[in-house]
Amino acid sequence: MKQYQYKQWQRMVGAAYDSVDSECPLLEDEVMVAVYKDYLAMHSFIKYIANDYFELSHEKVRIQRDDYVRMARELLKELDR
């Protein structure tokens, strides 16, 4: 997503948050807020993996990979709710 698209997306989500907090929220706004929360969860997970150090020994690489797989499964379960 390009920077100008992300800024517009944030404006739309901000308006959707305002609508969801009102007495009569629109379904589209509720969906947009839910998608934005899922996007933030996925973005933080990917950022964590990208910024994590990399191991050099085979055993530690296997452990690190297993941790990533476990974290990804937990994230998918949370997003699948």
Per-residue pLDDT tens for 41-66?
999 999 999 998 888 899 999 999 99
Distance from the first to the final alpha carbon of the chain = 25
Q: How far apart are CA 25 and CA 55, in angstroms?
A: 48
Total tally of structural domains belonging to the chain = 1
Q: Could you list the residue range(s) of the whole structural domain that residue 22 is in?
A: 3-80
> pLDDT tens digit string along 65-80?
999 999 999 999 999 8
Give 73: exposed, middle or buried? Use CB within 10 Å, 0-12, 13-18, 19+.
exposed
CA distances from 15 to 8, 35, 37, 61 (A): 11, 14, 15, 44
Neighbours of 16 (CB within 10 A): 21
